[in-house]
Each structure stands twice: as structure tokens, then as C-alpha cells.
Amino acid sequence: MTTRPRPLVAGNWKMNGLKASLSELSAIRDGVMAGGAGRAQTAICPPATLVMAAADLASGSPLAIGGQDCHANQSGAHTGDVSAQMLKDAGAAYAIVGHSERRTDHQETSAQVKAKAEAAIAAGLTAIVCVGESEAQRRAGETLAVVGKQLEESWPAGAAAATLVIAYEPIWAIGTGLTPTPADVAEVHDFIRGVALRLAGAEGAGIRLLYGGSVKPSNAAELMAVSNVDGALIGGASLKASDFLAIAAVYKG
């Protein structure tokens, strides 16, 4: 049996969080410092406005901070955008790219996602690249074809286990309370592992494959036990320290 990668439990706060929310972040940091995430690594990706303060709060603890997106360029005339270099400078270690909300709200293509992931890696961040099918695509039996195409087209050149994380997030499971069955998750994650091995060679075995979409304390143990699931990307439930820590606790003991 090959050694499984060290799991990663990451929270995506999306467009939620004011300065007052840093108290939840402190509670998450304290829980992680007390061993609450067991053998898992942990990260929280707050909105860009809080990245620097969050990184300051988490500094010296095992809790990492990430951004939720980054521009493909390091700097320049791109009003309103944030570069990977800026996130790194603010203390981030990760950048989520290609989340379905960005693919939908901002019409981001996989080619753009690839460029963003490459920018994140070039800036010294670990890119968390999101892929996932819509409800219609799943019903049409196109899940693996859709996910495979997104992976091929979004895959950053030269990616390694330390610089790339893939998050499988079925769009219909995000924020809905619905989740695929463990067998469905296993089918997709085993498929993604095969793609990772093909695209990254031996490094592909160590690339973390996160499941995301309605992960909560009550379903985390079942989902995290699935073959080739190396952690979770958590939206709603990451906003509450107690829920995030209850999910991460799956990796204790």
C-alpha cells in the first residue's frame, strides 16, 4: 500500500467575514493548537480584506491562511484584483482557484484557472484547484468526462504534491445540504488520482484530493473515510469554529 498524503482540512469563508469574525478564527487556531485536527493540516481562506489580519493571528500556529482567488499576473492595471504575490506578502500559504462560483459568476475558463494556479505556485503558494460537475451533467452520466476535462485544462505546469491540491466539488452539493454517496465520491476521487498520476507522474500520488460540498460534522467521518479523499474543502460549516473543528476532528487518533 502506498502512503496516503497528509490530509488537509480547509475552510472557504467565501464573501463572509468582518473584523468581528476574527474571533472565530482565533477559536479555530486555538483548537488546532490544542491538537484538535489530529494529523491533518488546516487552513482558512477568509475574504481578501481579512487575509493579513488572519495571517497575523495564525502566525506561529499550525493553522495556515489562504486567499479565495488570485489574478494570473503579479501586478499591473487590473482594478479590483488581487495577485498571488500580494496574498503571499500578506501571509497566505494557499490560494483557491477555479471555484465553481468564480467559474459561474466571473465566467472563468479552465485556461484562466490554469494561469491563476501557475501564478499562485510561482508566488510560493499552494494552489487549491476546484473541479466539479453540475446536476444536469451528473444526470447525463457526464461526471467523469467533465471533471477529466476540467483537470486537463486547469492543471498547472510542473505541479507537485507540495504545490497543488485538487478539490472535487460537485456544484449541486455546494451549499445545498446534498452530498454524493460515498461510492460516488470514491468513483470520482479514484478517477482524479489516476489523472494526477498521469499528469504529474509519481508526484501525483502525494497530491491531496479534497472533497467539498455540504461537508458538516455529521457527514465528515463517512466522506473522509472514502478512498482517495485526503481532506475537505468546507464552505458554510467553516464559518463556525465549533463546526470546523468537529470536522477536522475526524483526523484525530
118 is catalytic: no
Q: Is 120 in the site for ligand PGA (CB under 6 A)?
A: no
Q: Is 235 in the site for ligand PGA (CB under 6 A)?
A: yes
169 is catalytic: yes
- Region near ligand PGA per CB under 6 A, out of 24-32, 59-67, 188-196, 208-216: 208-216
Q: What is the 3-state secondary structure (H, E, C) of the chain?
A: CCCCCCCEEEEECCCCCCHHHHHHHHHHHHHHHCCCCCCCEEEEECCHHHHHHHHHHHCCCCEEEEECCCECCCCCCCCCCCEHHHHHHHCCCEEEECCHHHHHHCCCCHHHHHHHHHHHHHCCCEEEEEECCCHHHHHCCCHHHHHHHHHHHHCCCCCCCCCEEEEECCHHHCCCCCCCCHHHHHHHHHHHHHHHHHHHHHHHHCCEEEEECCCCHHHHHHHHCCCCCCEEEECHHHCCHHHHHHHHHHHCC
Q: Is 231 in the site for ligand PGA (CB under 6 A)?
A: no
Q: Is 133 in the site for ligand PGA (CB under 6 A)?
A: no
Binding residues among 174-193 for ligand PGA as defined by CB under 6 A: 174-175
Q: Which is nearer to ligand PGA, 82 or 233 (CB)?
A: 233
Q: In the stretch 5-44, what mask flags binding to ligand PGA with x, by CB under 6 A?
A: -------x--------------------------------
The distance of closest approach from Cβ of residue 100 to ligand PGA in the complex, given in angstroms and rounded to an integer, is 7
The residues binding ligand PGA (CB under 6 A) are: 12, 169, 174-175, 212-215, 233-237
